[in-house]
Structure 1
Amino acid sequence: MEQQQTGSRSYLISIVMVAVLGGLLFGYDTAVISGAEKGLQAFFMGAKDFQYTDFWHGFTSSSALIGCIIGSAISGLLATKFGRKRSLIFAGTMFFISAWGSMCPESMLLPEGKPTLTLLIVFNLYRVIGGIGVGLASAVCPMYIGEIAPSGIRGMLVSWNQFAIIFGQLVVYFVNFFILGDHIAPAIASVGGGLNEILNGTEAQWAIETGWRYMFGSEMIPAGLFAILICFVPETPRYLAMIGEDAKAERILAKINGAAAAKQILFDIKNTVTEKTEKLMTYGFLCIFVGVMLSVFQQAVGINAVLYYAPRIYEAMGFDNPMMLTVFNGIVNLSFTCVAIFTVEKLGRKPLLIVGSLGMAIGAIGVACTFGNPELQLVCMVSIMIYSASFMFSWGPICWVLIAEVFPNTIRGAAVAIAVAFQWIFNWIVSTSFVPLANSLGYWFTYSLYGVICVLAALFVWKLVPETKGKTLEDMTKLWKDRK
């Protein structure tokens, strides 16, 4: 009887835990390249029919981002037409296909272990497929959790998605570390003109021929688990209400919130989804602008310059064991993500974003002032940690919380898709521009630029972003109507 009145918290948590596996795969897929890229580079440097230059390696390392842009761009269409659940099943399938294909790009059609231009193209196609899964999961997982969760704990539950992303990155750091084992990663030296040579090819032969394959293939385990488990979770009540399945929607709401609350929530949902046919700009330009700029700033602050290139950055700073520092950095990131999870409903979204932005600015300026100075090596490392940790309790999880809840019901699918597509576009811009910027203008300029952007991000949040703590998703309709 009590469960009928209050709902089942264990039922809600079990649903959310399955959904956040999509976030774990998001982190796993984007970070797996950090351990595999040197072996992959050395493997394709052995090709006879083309020259594997820095350009090719940069493209190969970031090719998954092309898929991320595609996946996020179509997420709104898929989530609206086929539902949130089916979209996540599709994403899980894409993850699995990509993991298998990246491990064995020859696919029993091309010569085994022979690097060629054709093989490189096929490998990148599999990485793009994985990127489509990441793009879909990055948009639909927070949307799914946001539409399932009660308003009082929605921010905390959506923040668990970011925890899963960072946990996925940490897991793959450990997996890559253990796969490499006693083997050594190849050392690549530039010989000019975008060409490179392998310095320890014989000793690193296993990493060049096999190691990177195991790293990519390891993703099949969580991908397969996610694709199977997501089949057993319900569709979101808000999507069911939008397609006229009111009885199903009320049953799910009752399981989560209790029978009495379910009727009122469904009534509020129906009032917002049946008002009229909603166009994207129905609630004004500012509504879309705020969602898009949240995504732009989340990437423009430069965090992926640390996450994607952590081993190389620590190596350039002069540390002897960059992979161990990368793992430690991952543990710090995970710990500070927990800060957001347990404070977002108490402190609100805006305070965390503003404090995090200023913390990142301090960390970025610290790196800019100390990078390359052997005497300040430790200060530089601490600055990197401050920069990274500040992101993890603010822009990392809170941006996803806001994107999942700030848009009105009737435009959420399309608006989230646009916002997340911009996120991946700027992810690609930051990821591909970091090395050229650092090499041509110096680390001091690059991190100073990120520091300035962090300050601008704080000002943007202060002036334009609404506080959504404690508000229902249906409240967003009135909020944006009043701000038009």
Structure 2
Amino acid sequence: MQQSNTKNRYILGISFISALGGYLFGFDFAVIAGALPFLQKQFVFDAYWEGFATGILAIGAIAGCILAGQVADKYGRRPGLMLAAALFAISSLAMAIAPNRDLFLVARFAAGAGVGMASMLSPMYISEIAPAAIRGRLVAMNQLTIVLGILITNLVNYALRNNGADAWRLMFGLGMIPSGLFLIGAYFLPESPRWLIRNNKEQAAETILRKMGDSAYVAESLSMIKKSMNGAARINYAAVFKRAVLPALLTGIGLAVFQQFCGINTVFNYAPKIFESIGASKDDQLLQTVFIGAVNLVFTILAMALVDKLGRKPLMLIGAGGLCLLYVLIVHALQSGSGMLSGLLLAAIGTYAMTLAPVIWVLISEIFPVGVRAAAITVAVVSLWLAYFILVFTFPVLFEHLKEYTFYIYAGICAAGFLFTLLRIKETKGKNLEEVEQAVSMH
């Protein structure tokens, strides 16, 4: 089904608007790092409150995922994206003007809820409106905007570092700009044709599909969507644990947990701590975080070109195997205080950004049956946020006791992830969502 350039541009445009949720995810993930030194003085944070202020984003994200699943199923994907955008905007303002610690933490929790909603709804929406041939690249766009959000926020934080004791208020307040743009953009998005057909609004779905492709594309899309809807009841969370769905659900949870337990977010969040352990100066530590952000961006762009060419499974295998090897080398570099450490960590970031980071989001958005997709993605993404919370809170303790040997744990997890991918993951490249559902159910 060949699409015209004009229609491909339309699909790209609405995918980009949806992917702005990823940018805000990146913003809230990164902004706390620049703000923490100011918050410590403003609210007299000790180590516990510092950790809690960082981690409460993940707790809010879990609540946001659950809320998003209910909103997306009952009211549609578009209202869910608009609610996420509104939460981002309100929480950015609330954090910026917070008069005390408790109100700041409530606002940070609300920001996490927006992050959780966006982390689920943006890839779900894109996967449902994108033609099979370019779906991987378009869903990977969500990861690209996350990476851009992190990099741009780090640069803004750096620029604002000398703006006095209230610089942190500006750091958080500036989040209202991308939030507002996302809210306006989401208002003009079309609803997912799959959601419309499932809710007996076939004419509206057909109108939207005509904007995306020619008559043959519309007819085939309508036929495939209707076929997948046969016998599909209104979803509920109990349905995702039924025997027919359980293999796909366990695969989705496994992918989500592996994306975090592979350990790479320890490098993103604790790079200065890792470099400090081999005697690097403060300037060198800061310089390394800039390099990490740049490498992350470059390799995420490369991933977008590869995900629909090489396929999902080969990229997963390259990512898991490559990280396993690199972690072993990182242990030896930390032991010897080697100058190779920077290059190895950057290689690990690049490997992850090109493989596991975008591909796992693509697979989670693809592998679940249409009738239970919203609830199943919710369960998988909640698992991802729980795994992230566990990873970032255990690393400082592990690193204090095990030092460089901590990375052997992550190497072992990556080896297990390699085997899991080899044995459990089926290739979904080039298949429409209904064909993916058929392949997974036969697993």
Specify the TM-score bucket, using the shorter chain as the normaliser.
Answer: over 0.9
Give me the whole-angstrom Cα distance separating, in 2, the residues matched to 1:38 and 1:438: 22
**Which among 325, 330, 336 is matched to residue 367 of structure 1?**
330
Q: Partner of 2:427: helix, strand, or coil? A: coil
1:440 aligns with 2:421: no
String of CA shifts for 1:222-244, please: whole Å, max 9, x gaps: 11111111101101111111111
The residue aligned with 2:159 is 178
**Which among 56, 60, 65 is matched to residue 53 of structure 2?**
60
Check whether the contact 1:7–1:259 (CA below 8 A) recurs between aligned residues.
Answer: no
Paired residues for 1:273-292 under 5 Å? 273-277=229-233, 279-280=239-240, 281=242, 283-292=244-253
The residue aligned with 1:357 is 320
Q: Partner of 1:163: helix, strand, or coil? A: helix
Check whether the contact 2:268–2:292 (CA below 8 A) recurs between aligned residues.
Answer: no
1:21 aligns with 2:20: yes
1:343 aligns with 2:299: no
The residue aligned with 1:138 is 119
Identity %: 36
Q: Partner of 1:371: helix, strand, or coil? A: helix
String of CA shifts for 1:138-178, please: whole Å, max 9, x gaps: 01100000001000110011111111111111111111111
Report the Cα offset of residue 274 of structure 1. Answer: 2.6
CA separation of 1:272/1:405 partners in 2, compared to 1, >3 Å: closer, same or farther?
same
Letter in 2 for 1:424: W
**Which among 245, 251, 254 is matched to residue 201 of structure 2?**
245
TM norm structure 1: 0.87
String of CA shifts for 1:228-270, please: whole Å, max 9, x gaps: 1110110111111111111111111121121221111111101
String of CA shifts for 1:429-480, please: whole Å, max 9, x gaps: 00111111111221x1221111111111111111101110111101133223
**Which among 159, 175, 182 is matched to residue 140 of structure 2?**
159
**Which among 86, 91, 95 is matched to residue 93 of structure 1?**
86
Letter in 1 for 2:431: K
Report the Cα offset of residue 290 of structure 1. Answer: 0.2
1:453 aligns with 2:423: no
**Which among 430, 435, 442 is matched to residue 391 of structure 2?**
430
Check whether the contact 2:61–2:113 (CA below 8 A) recurs between aligned residues.
Answer: yes
String of CA shifts for 1:323-342, please: whole Å, max 9, x gaps: 23212211100111112100
Structure holding more helix per residue:
2
Give me the whole-angstrom Cα distance separating, in 2, the residues matched to 1:100 and 1:308: 25
1:261 aligns with 2:217: yes
Q: How many residues align?
A: 435
The residue aligned with 1:421 is 382
**Which among 297, 309, 332 is matched to residue 270 of structure 2?**
309
The residue aligned with 2:38 is 39
Q: Partner of 1:347: helix, strand, or coil? A: coil
Check whether the contact 2:253–2:383 (CA below 8 A) recurs between aligned residues.
Answer: yes
Give me the whole-angstrom Cα distance separating, in 1, the residues matched to 2:196 and 2:256: 27
Q: Partner of 1:8: helix, strand, or coil? A: helix
**Which among 410, 427, 430 is matched to residue 470 of structure 1?**
430
Report the Cα offset of residue 297 of structure 1. Answer: 0.1
Report the Cα offset of residue 282 of structure 1. Answer: 5.4
**Which among 172, 177, 180 is matched to residue 221 of structure 1?**
177
Letter in 2 for 1:222: P
1:406 aligns with 2:367: yes
Q: Partner of 1:467: helix, strand, or coil? A: coil
CA separation of 1:372/1:127 partners in 2, compared to 1, >3 Å: closer, same or farther?
farther
The residue aligned with 2:71 is 78
The residue aligned with 1:194 is none
The residue aligned with 1:334 is 297
Give me the whole-angstrom Cα distance separating, in 2, the residues matched to 1:481 and 1:21: 32
Give me the whole-angstrom Cα distance separating, in 1, the residues matched to 2:319 and 2:101: 40
CA separation of 1:73/1:452 partners in 2, compared to 1, >3 Å: closer, same or farther?
same
Check whether the contact 2:22–2:143 (CA below 8 A) recurs between aligned residues.
Answer: yes
Give me the whole-angstrom Cα distance separating, in 1, the residues matched to 2:362 and 2:436: 14
Give the stretch that moved more between structures: 421-430 or 432-441.
432-441
Give me the whole-angstrom Cα distance separating, in 2, the residues matched to 1:455 and 1:319: 33
CA separation of 1:276/1:16 partners in 2, compared to 1, >3 Å: closer, same or farther?
closer
Letter in 2 for 1:268: M
Give me the whole-angstrom Cα distance separating, in 1, the residues matched to 2:97 and 2:276: 30
Check whether the contact 1:15–1:233 (CA below 8 A) recurs between aligned residues.
Answer: yes
Give me the whole-angstrom Cα distance separating, in 1, the residues matched to 2:194 and 2:23: 24
Give the stretch that moved more between structures: 279-288 or 212-221.
279-288
Give me the whole-angstrom Cα distance separating, in 1, the residues matched to 2:34 and 2:174: 12
Give me the whole-angstrom Cα distance separating, in 2, the residues matched to 1:23 and 1:402: 17
The residue aligned with 1:147 is 128
String of CA shifts for 1:349-386, please: whole Å, max 9, x gaps: 00001101122122222222222644x1x211111111
CA separation of 1:244/1:6 partners in 2, compared to 1, >3 Å: closer, same or farther?
farther
Check whether the contact 2:311–2:427 (CA below 8 A) recurs between aligned residues.
Answer: yes
Letter in 2 for 1:371: L
Report the Cα offset of residue 389 of structure 1. Answer: 1.0
Provide structure 2 residue ranges, at least 5 long, that are not aligned to the other structure. Answer: none
Report the Cα offset of residue 390 of structure 1. Answer: 0.9
Give me the whole-angstrom Cα distance separating, in 2, the residues matched to 1:409 and 1:319: 52
CA separation of 1:270/1:6 partners in 2, compared to 1, >3 Å: closer, same or farther?
farther
Q: Partner of 1:346: helix, strand, or coil? A: coil
Give me the whole-angstrom Cα distance separating, in 2, the residues matched to 1:393 and 1:142: 17
TM norm structure 2: 0.94
Letter in 2 for 1:266: L
Check whether the contact 1:34–1:311 (CA below 8 A) recurs between aligned residues.
Answer: no
Check whether the contact 2:256–2:381 (CA below 8 A) recurs between aligned residues.
Answer: yes
Give me the whole-angstrom Cα distance separating, in 2, the residues matched to 1:163 and 1:78: 25
Report the Cα offset of residue 7 of structure 1. Answer: 6.5
